Chain A
């Protein structure tokens, strides 16, 4: 099983995180929480905007059933707190004094205007690390721009490389610009925490979603710098002969026949096609197919698809995947969510986690450990919190009494 038991030590035990992030930073808090940090989700009294993102469990549109929210906030405790209100700000400062890391995604300057900027947090809690994830960073000509996931993909340059060349570029599934900002935000936060443990001082971490997306450009910046060429998108078409997406009986497969630098696995693919009786496959043994320049040509792409295309249509994606891999050909199915749920390797690894969803009284099957640490296993500690679920518990720790808590709730502070 992928999950440790309650008795296993956790890698991030003893680290407390205040997670005030919106959708752009939602996955960052999950990374900390499932590794054992005590992550407290700080939501406005009306709830995080992520709660309203479709789809919903059972298609019931209510705040405890948003799938993205439920998935991104596992292992976290949750409180409500109005950070635009003076008493809310005072409570947040008090909570900070118990924490090591604060994650936030407000526009630059918003936290400071609330009296919750880095300088103000550090004055009270010198070792605090404040990680601010924003579309373009804290300062600069675009710092105040409005952004969404799609704008981040566009401005960071990845969108230009995605989709078919004859139509508008198309985005990646699953809000990848937000995901990249969250992932780099988590790495940066961990670096700052490790540094703070040694120096005793925290710092402000300024993460730009645009820059995070730029990290995904592969070699496009280097192509421009070294060769003066601008990489374009090639969509589903072959980027090189033998590398691309092909239709099969029940969907699509992706084949990378040569492998990186294009020759290592080529012979395996050719033998497979010859053994399988693919008409014309013998010509792929010609030495010119080990010349990368030739593989880039339209002629080579046309010959390869004329041979592999009809061959692929005879089989299912599973048949092509297993037989190709048995022969050491880099080929994979273009998986749907159903293929992933049924993937035998993931099942063998016990990858999927079961997490109880109270409103529907059912266990949800969701992706589990993205890494397996032998001593400190990844583990979902609890389902995502209901709105304000841990108010009494956490404010209680701060010494706020029940009567006062009720008053704060009435006045819209929590």
Chain B
């Protein structure tokens, strides 16, 4: 079995909450030794965010936190204490990457801005994931994934045109766009460092990746002067294309008829030969022009059927169709995710066994497995100080007595 790609890479990780923690999780799950610097005096708020094991809140009981922090070690350090800052410097000196997602200026207050760090660790890769970048008029603004979804234009483009913009219902930029972009940037910087020995500073604004994903809408405005509006589930050139009701409470199926062949096969699958016979509907243009009527006709057919049976029927006819699955469907029923081993169950010292996502890709040679569940708050403080920093037990105890390790 191949070694994990990032074995030998160490990360001193100041990141917390969403986007930062998810970025360093990507590194940790693939072999990096990620040391999460935490403090009970400034708790990672994800630790106090539901859901909790048995619905009992507690800093070591959040499933949200757990899934974002697999394979990491947790060290509690009071960063307001000079000795705490000294410890952080010692860890960084033994690291390849430093990561944070604070408001600009926070790391500088600890004496750990990029300019400070490069003085004692010139080849460090320094990832700073602020909300809107290191400098500029709005750089100190506060936000979370949900407000970033609004600010970047994604929310405006998501939802029914007759309603207020619905957005993704989640802190989407935190979960995929920002962790993937930041992870990619760090991996590219590691590649560069391997070739040249040089580290660098990565100024990452948590707005910019999501805007980058909306490039076509931005260019439609800058080049054509058109402000793209949200359009429900419509497709710009295909119809029918939408989400249709099925038997059961809040059960839906997504169906996308992308070309004439699929239209004929949809009609055949549903036993409505007159649909494919109608000349008005024989082209994509014709169907799009009449899409609201088609949506109603199709919904009347789908509403009589079980969503899974209908999906299998349409797929057998080569029509793109998928059940709108909820979390219960995905965890308890989806045979494809089961086949891929997507859901992992890890034993956590306080939560017992609970569910974790595997990374969404597989390698033919490198095993993808999470090395450990999320750490308890400060679980590895003594281990890291004693092991990595070689500190004698008495010194660790003295630091603890001084309030440095809280």
Contacts and interface: CB of A to CB of B under 8 A. Distances in A.
Contacts of A153: 254
Interface in B337-371: 337, 339-340, 342-343, 351, 354-355, 357-366
Interface residues of B, number: 160
A210 interface: yes
B321 A218 contact: no
Interface in A169-199: 169-174, 176, 179-180, 183-188, 190-195, 197-199
Contacts of A231: 326-327
A217 B170 contact: yes
A398 B326 CA distance: 50
A88 interface: no
Interface stretch (A135-143, A299-307, A400-408): A135-143
A247 B164 contact: yes
A43 B322 CA distance: 29
B254 A150 contact: yes
Contacts of A332: 143, 147-148, 150-151
A254 interface: yes
A173 B60 CA distance: 36
Nearest to B213: A179
Interface string B318-332: 111111111111111
Contacts, number: 535
A274 interface: no
B255 to A, nearest CB: 8
A150 B233 contact: yes
A139 B241 CA distance: 27
Interface string B190-215: 11101110111111110111011111
A259 B44 CA distance: 12
B381 to A, nearest CB: 23
Interface residues of A, number: 155
Contact of B159 (A14, A170, A260, A371): A170
A15 B245 CA distance: 48
A389 to B, nearest CB: 20
Interface stretch (A90-98, A108-116, A221-229, A283-291): A221-229
Contact of A154 (B147, B207, B208, B253): B253
B375 interface: no
Interface stretch (B79-87, B91-99, B179-187, B388-396): B179-187
A332 B163 CA distance: 19
A336 interface: yes
B228 interface: yes
A82 interface: no
A87 interface: no
Contact of A158 (B151, B170, B220, B243): B170
Nearest to A12: B188
B63 interface: yes
Contacts of B135: 348-349
B166 interface: yes
Contacts of B207: 345-346
A118 to B, nearest CB: 7
Contact of B365 (A72, A167, A203, A335): A203
Contact of B327 (A151, A201, A224): A224
A13 to B, nearest CB: 8
Most B CB contacts (10 A, CB to CB) among A164, A345, A362 go to A345
A337 B217 contact: yes
A243 B146 contact: yes
A152 B360 CA distance: 13
Interface stretch (B2-10, B272-280, B397-405): B2-10
Given A337-B217, A370-B181, A222 B354 contact: yes
A193 B46 CA distance: 33
Contact of A259 (B64, B144, B203): B144
A358 to B, nearest CB: 14
B51 A219 contact: yes
A145 B215 CA distance: 29
Contact of A330 (B144, B208, B334): B144
Contact of B224 (A55, A179, A227): A55
Nearest to A350: B136
Contacts of A210: 336-337
A39 to B, nearest CB: 13
B152 to A, nearest CB: 7
Given A57-B224, A71-B215, A174 B157 contact: yes
A220 B328 CA distance: 9
Contact of A174 (B180, B182, B216, B365): B216
Contacts of A214: 330, 337, 342, 357, 360
Contact of A236 (B45, B132, B166, B322): B166
Most B CB contacts (10 A, CB to CB) among A164, A195, A207, A252 go to A195
B85 to A, nearest CB: 24
Mostly helix, strand, loop or mixed at chain B's interface? mixed
A223 B176 contact: no
B104 interface: no
A379 to B, nearest CB: 13
Contacts of B190: 194
B180 A184 contact: yes
Interface string A255-276: 1100111001100000000000
A315 interface: no
B109 interface: no
A334 interface: yes
Contact of A216 (B172, B244, B328): B172
A154 B336 CA distance: 14
A206 B148 contact: no
Contacts of A245: 150, 155, 164-165, 167
Given A137-B340, A151-B254, A203-B364, A338 B221 contact: yes
B5 A162 contact: no
A236 B159 contact: yes
Interface in A62-85: 67-68, 70-72
Contacts of B241: 148, 150
Contacts of B151: 332-333, 335
Given A167-B160, A183-B177, A205 B212 contact: no
A204 B152 CA distance: 34
Contact of B133 (A201, A204, A345): A345
A42 interface: no
Contacts of B355: 221-222, 225-226
A234 B167 CA distance: 10
A397 interface: no
B216 A199 contact: no
A136 B220 CA distance: 31
B143 to A, nearest CB: 5
B301 interface: no
A319 interface: no
Given A164-B159, A216-B176, A235-B163, 14 more contacts: A141-B339, A146-B318, A151-B256, A155-B325, A163-B166, A170-B232, A174-B214, A217-B330, A227-B51, A227-B55, A330-B143, A336-B227, A348-B137, A367-B214
Give the 7 A-B CB pairs with smallest separation, nearest first: A173-B157, A222-B63, A211-B360, A183-B180, A140-B339, A254-B150, A337-B221
19 contacts: A67-B223, A143-B336, A148-B256, A150-B233, A155-B336, A159-B243, A167-B160, A169-B243, A173-B217, A183-B177, A210-B337, A218-B64, A219-B51, A226-B52, A235-B163, A336-B153, A337-B220, A338-B227, A371-B182
